[in-house]
Amino acid sequence: TQLLEQSPQFLSIQEGENLTVYCNSSSVFSSLQWYRQEPGEGPVLLVTVVTGGEVKKLKRLTFQFGDARKDSSLHITAAQPGDTGLYLCAGDQGGSEKLVFGKGTKLTVNP
């Protein structure tokens, strides 16, 4: 059983479209992080959300942490081919330095 479920698993859209990907769990996290991984590279941190209900914006990317700190979403406005990659969410349950990773959403933005 995956502690963090990400959906959809795959997403292929056209340039200019909007999209939302989700990261859900039955567990509470003290913080949640989003990473983007491009082909042939390691994951790179995009943002950390800490407070329930928190919304953070990073240019065209909007991240939200659920009120109960069990889920999160990532919304991309006017997607561009450069947004293509694997989006991973990772939760910190507190008490150790370990993170729990979801399996990711593989996004392809076609020109």
Partner 1 sequence: DAGVIQSPRHEVTEMGQEVTLRCKPISGHDYLFWYRQTMMRGLELLIYFNNNVPIDDSGMPEDRFSAKMPNASFSTLKIQPSEPRDSAVYFCACSGGETPYNEQFFGPGTRLTVL
Which spans of this chain sit near partner 1 (rule: CB under 8 A)? Answer: 2, 31, 33, 35, 40-45, 48, 50, 88, 90, 92, 96-99, 101-104
Smallest gap from residue 101 Cβ to partner 1 (A): 4
| Closer CB to partner 1, 70 or 79, in the complex | 70
Smallest gap from residue 102 Cβ to partner 1 (A): 7
Smallest gap from residue 46 Cβ to partner 1 (A): 10
82 touches 36 (CB < 8 A): no
Distances (CA, A) of 109 to 19, 45, 62, 94: 10, 20, 17, 35
| Closer CB to partner 1, 44 or 78, in the complex | 44
Rounded to 5 degrees, what are φ and ψ at 37? -120, 120
| Closer CB to partner 1, 79 or 91, in the complex | 91
